[in-house]
Amino acid sequence: MKLLKDNYQRSIDYLRVSITDRCNLRCIYCMPSGGLIPIEHKEILTYEEIIRVISISSKIGVRKIRITGGEPLVRRNVVYLIESIKNIDGIEDLSLTTNGILLSRYAEELKHAGLDRVNVSLDTLNPERYRMITRGGDLDFVLKGIEAIERVGLNPIKINMVPIRGINSDEIKDFAKLTLKSPYQVRFIEYMPFGSEEMWSTEKFISTEEIKSIVESIDTLYPVKMKKSGPARYFRLENGLGVIGFISPISNHFCDECNRLRLTADGKLRPCLFSETEVDLKPALRGGASDDEIKRLLKLSIEIKPEGHNIDPEKLALMIKNREFCRRPMSRIGG
């Protein structure tokens, strides 16, 4: 099938689906300290609605699905959803992003249900600091979760770390060194301005350039070509079993290669992570729209996908103060 292209000749074949805005953690860069008022249950798409949207999107060329949240593993019967998506014709790659807290409980079932891969978000290897960053989480659960996905063969294991100056930046090298002992893909993702002033400050931002130079102080980094690298640029340390990826949404944005759409838990199609422009699918889904009408809305969100964002790290603090963008925190969009 011919892939659907947007107005900038990008083929859109990837849909990230947030299945809940709820979470069992409260990460300091993702949730305000007072938490968020959860979206009412009736406003959240049902599994049947999600499966329908994915099934229709597969007919216009979507091949890759990532399930995210909030924390996707807190939603009941998530294994049923995974199994159902796996059975949709045309979906070739099904992955999940999780904080890992519930992974050891679900790893085996997820593997059997047909999940291809898991990304685990982990920002520190220190239990006390983990409790601080996540406002109460227990690192041990995550480490056991990673062991469990290794055991059941949910490979390759990607570990995503968001380095934040003065919070966990002193652990960049420790994370990079994990690839010397394990075949993990350790990916450093730039800290992004979402939510509120409380959750963001320009001083805490560390660019990929700086993160990479810290990693290079361990040893030489050799570029690695990966089949499906997405926005990450990959390298390997001498004798490394795993690889190190850098994802630079702010300093070196990859908008010209962006192949994705996002579906929020409350049914909004979001063509760009950094733009508030959304297409609401729920009224159509709940108002008896035909598959062709839903398809038209999916195509509309592709048509309005902006060419790129223009976030200048120097202007970030002012922009968030003026609430110019990213009012929805990541837990409400689906990172």
249 binds ligand SF4 (CB under 6 A): no
Which CB sits closer to ligand SAM, 55 or 98? Answer: 98
Identify what 248 binds: ligand SF4, ligand SAM, none; CB under 5 to 8 Å per kind. none
70 binds ligand SF4 (CB under 6 A): yes
Q: How far is the CB of 100 from ligand SAM (least distance, A)?
A: 8
Q: How far is the CB of 225 from ligand SF4 (least distance, A)?
A: 30
Q: How far is the CB of 238 from ligand SF4 (least distance, A)?
A: 32
Identify what 31 binds: ligand SAM, ligand SF4, none; CB under 5 to 8 Å per kind. ligand SF4
96 binds ligand SF4 (CB under 6 A): no
Tell me, rounded to whole angstroms, the distance of Cα 44 from its chain centroid: 19
Identify what 26 binds: ligand SAM, ligand SF4, none; CB under 5 to 8 Å per kind. ligand SF4
Q: Are the beta carbons of 234 and 224 closer than 8 angstroms?
A: yes
Contacts with ligand SF4 by CB under 6 A: the residue count is 13
Identify what 130 binds: ligand SAM, ligand SF4, none; CB under 5 to 8 Å per kind. none
**82 - beta bridge partners?**
none
- Contacting residues for 317 by C-beta, under 8 A, at least 6 apart: 200, 201, 202
Q: How far is the CB of 103 from ligand SAM (least distance, A)?
A: 11
25 binds ligand SF4 (CB under 6 A): yes
27 binds ligand SF4 (CB under 6 A): yes
Q: How far is the CB of 297 from ligand SAM (least distance, A)?
A: 24
69 binds ligand SF4 (CB under 6 A): yes
Q: Outline where the chain has alpha helix (H).
A: 47-58, 78-86, 103-113, 127-133, 139-152, 172-181, 208-216, 282-286, 291-303, 316-321, 330-333
Binding mask 117-136 for ligand SF4 (x = CB under 6 A): ----x---------------
In this structure, the number of other CB atoms found within 10 A of the CB of residue 240 comes to 24
Contacts for 308-315 with beta carbons within 8 Å, 24 or more apart?
308/253, 308/255, 308/256, 308/258, 309/253, 309/255, 309/272, 309/273, 309/274, 309/275, 311/193, 311/250, 311/253, 311/274, 313/202, 313/205, 313/207, 313/250, 313/251, 314/202
334 binds ligand SF4 (CB under 6 A): no
30 binds ligand SF4 (CB under 6 A): yes
Q: Which residue has the tokens 């891969």?
A: 117
What's the CA gap between 335 and 333, in Å, rounded?
A: 6
**158 - beta bridge partners?**
119, 185
- Contacting residues for 269 by C-beta, under 8 A, at least 6 apart: 261, 262, 263, 278, 279, 280, 281, 297, 298, 301
Q: How far is the CB of 62 from ligand SAM (least distance, A)?
A: 20
Region of 69-77, 244-252, 256-264, 279-287 interacting with ligand SF4 (CB under 6 A): 69-77
Give residue 126's region: left, alpha or beta (phi > 0; psi -120 to 50).
beta
Q: Which residues bind ligand SAM (CB under 6 A)?
A: 23, 29-30, 68-69, 71, 97-99, 121, 160, 162, 189, 191-192, 194, 330-331, 335
Q: Which residues bind ligand SF4 (CB under 6 A)?
A: 23, 25-27, 30-31, 69-71, 99, 121, 330-331
